[in-house]
Structure 1
Amino acid sequence: MSQAFSYTAEYVLDKSYFEECYQQSINPNTSPKRFIKTTIFALVGLAILMLDTVSPTSMSTKETYYLGYFFIGLAVVEFLSIRFNKTWWLWRQMMSKAAGEHVNLTIDDNGINSQSLHVNQQILWTDIYRITETDAGLLIKLQKTTTYLSKRCLDKSAIDFINQKQ
């Protein structure tokens, strides 16, 4: 009878961890399609401002004027989120309540369990669709999401055990 496997580790959700998550798990979209929403916001904003100035009716109010600039502002914010994608993503992660938290990781025969003050995630082995090993970690593909697990908190036996469960 084989002995049950159990591995426990602790890591911190700091900037270097989030940066590693981004680099290993996010494929930046380089297609021109990513600018569609930016273009639509800008065109709607410009259309509102143009219609406001050429309209013979008294439709021209402060609200429509501000609405046009609001859509142009949305276009600028959307453009910046595309242009500075990594910085934007890291900033959002660092502003989350989970940033800076210590996470207790447990890997056993049931699955992978991550516990912190704000997050309690249990991934059962039966829920895992695919495991992809990267240079710095493991991408764990579930039915609708992907989770990243860094190798910096895992030893060789834990990595081998996870890969065996695939």
Structure 2
Amino acid sequence: MTTPFSYSITYTLDKSHYLETYDASAVAINPKKAYLIAIGLAALGFAILLFTQIEPFAAWFLIALGGLEVFSIRFRRSWWLARQLISKAASTDLTLTIDETGVTSQSIHVESHISWDDISKLEKTSQGWLLYHSGGKTYLSDRCLSAEAQAFIAAKAVLVSE
């Protein structure tokens, strides 16, 4: 009789972890389309400013919104990282447990459990695994997983894809 699989590790949520998580899970954007929206907002603001009698505040607001959109596109990764590093979860220890029931994360700020039944897709990335579930996506880094844990997740990925 085989014993049920169980793996547990504790690691710190640091800058390198957040950078790896972002790189693996961020949705790729089309920069041309994103900048086009920013240019459109600014152009609409200038058109309102130059060709209408509407209060200039609304026009300047749209122009500033276009500029903010350009800033958010250009510094998307840095802005996301900064938000994570100033969050209360930064630099805290997280205990990750992978077993037959699912994936559990516990820290002083969060406790979550994702059941294997709730996972709709498991995707292997270059440095870890993306788990797609009803709550969004969760990233598991290979650097905190043993070879046995990676093999267990790979076996679950085959089952989920069927």
TM over 0.5: yes
CA deviation profile, 1:71-112 (whole Å, cap 9, x unmatched): 211111110111122212212222333222211111111000
Question: Equivalent residues in 2 for 1:1-166 (5 A)?
Answer: 1-51=1-51, 55=53, 64-143=55-134, 145-166=136-157
Structure 2: give runs of 5+ residues left out of the alignment: 158-162
CA distance in 2, matches of 1:67, 1:20: 40
TM-score (norm. length: structure 2): 0.85
1:50 Cα deviation after fit: 1.6
The 3-state SS of whatever aligns with 1:129 is: strand
Q: C-alpha distance in 2, partners of 1:28/1:110? A: 32
**Which region of structure 1 is more displaced relative to structure 2, 100-109 or 24-33?**
24-33
Query: Identity, % of aligned pairs?
Result: 40
CA distance in 1, matches of 2:109, 2:62: 35
Q: CA deviation at 1:36?
A: 3.8
Amino acid corresponding to residue 16 of structure 2 in structure 1: S
Q: Measure the CA separation in 1 of the matches of 2:135 and 2:34.
A: 22
Consecutive unaligned residues in structure 1, runs of 5 or more: none
Runs ≥4 in structure 1, deviation > 6 angstroms? none
